[in-house]
Structure 1
């Protein structure tokens, strides 16, 4: 069985919220992709409710693309403590953390329900499970705590 990096991470030692490079891989044609850990909640201490994480997923997928080129995917962790961000190429963790901070600020200050894409039965597989209120509350919490560009030492951007 292949070893998965995320399952080798000591989740008891990380200090959320943070941005961390999980892996950078180069494909057979030389293309590089990087997978980031955007951790919002402290593992095994808190989890983001499904309505909040679902709405955050939709918002991050759209709004982070306005700040970072080459985004392939933004998807929530099954443990509901954060998100994978997969991009072409590589950014420093601090660059991603800065873009995430600006995006969360925009969510808190500017986003209304009508801005959230993919909230009907045609465009979402579970359209009834959204909460903009909870998404904004989690965004506020992450911003209040500050986003570190290191998973183990608080280096808030």
Structure 2
């Protein structure tokens, strides 16, 4: 099964409105990138939401200063690789990010865009918008923390399309 399918969704007893609340987090194996949602707009635009999971749910998480900095770096740099990004933002559980794109459903290209963006993080010499004028918590950043997170994710690039433990066997 490839990661573009929403396998493991809806396996819980009560269907929730939020897609990720219907995902059995005990069955996933991070890191991965999966298509988490798809909608068609009134004018036919396709909106796609990807779950980019950096850390194993309920086992690990990204430290806040590194997560905050990688968020700034990815939000700024991903747009250098595509103009189809609507938003990229962190999950509250600190295990990953949601990437929302418009009219871009090529899963392999999404992986390439993410890979290039994480390479940008490794090459960064500063965190963009890391000041009190442009950031709501400017004192809480770590460029080195962001680079460690990116390096770890990139080291497992060949695993990004495996979402569920049974697929890894």
1:129 aligns with 2:140: yes
Q: Secondary structure at the match of 2:24?
A: coil
Instruction: Name the counterpart of 2:156.
Output: 145
Q: Where do 4+ consecutive residues of structure 1 move more than 3 Å? A: none
Structure 2: distance between partners of 1:65 and 1:45: 31
Post-superposition CA distance 1:117-144 (Å, at most 9, x none): 2111110111111110111011111112
Structure 2: distance between partners of 1:8 and 1:124: 32
Pick from 124, 127, 131: which aligns with 1:111?
A: 124
Q: Secondary structure at the match of 1:64?
A: helix
Structure 1 unaligned regions, length at least 5: none
Post-superposition CA distance 1:37-84 (Å, at most 9, x none): 111111111000111111111111111111122111110000000101
Greater Cα offset, 23-32 or 74-83: 23-32
1:69 aligns with 2:80: no
What is the root-mean-square deviation of aligned Cα atoms in Å? 1.6
